Amino acid sequence: MADCLFCKIISGEIPSKKLYEDDKILAFYDISPIAPVHFLVIPKEHIQSVDAIDEKNSEIVAYIFQKIGQLAKEAGIENGYRVISNCGADAGQSVLHLHFHVIGGKELSWQA
């Protein structure tokens, strides 16, 4: 997707601090962290949001979750973490490319 910020991060057009990359996914640190550790995991395939996950593209979601535990360890998270995917306007989704926030490194509060 030509106009997508995260597609540009995947292509390298916009630089990022990478944590992990393979042929299917990219994990990189959030530019405005909300916790001591805050990284994003995204599929390389452009999927707009959780709302756009269907029977044809859902395999990548399982793949991402299969990787998250190891990535959290590699990022230095030792005592638990939270995985968040903001979907749509009310959730404040600001980048319309499916992404999973992984946050940790402190005791997290819970408030919606």
DSSP string, 86-101: --STTTT--SSS--EE
- Dmax over CA atoms of the chain, in Å, equals 39
Indicate the residue type of 72: A
Residues within window 35-94 making contact with ligand 5GP, judged by CB under 6 A: 86, 92-94
Q: Which is nearer to ligand 5GP, 94 or 109 (CB)?
A: 94
The binder of 111, among ligand 5GP, Zn ion, none, by C-beta within 5 to 8 A per type, is none
Q: Which does 31 bind (CB under 5 to 8 A by kind): ligand 5GP, Zn ion, none?
A: ligand 5GP
Q: Is 99 considered catalytic here? A: yes
Q: Tokens in use for 75?
A: 């990022």
CB of 16 to ligand 5GP, least distance (A): 5
Distance CA 81, CA 84 (A): 10
Nearest to 49 by CA among 92, 12, 11: 92
* Contacts to ligand 5GP by CB under 6 A: 5, 14, 16, 28-32, 86, 92-95
Question: Catalytic positions, please?
Answer: 99
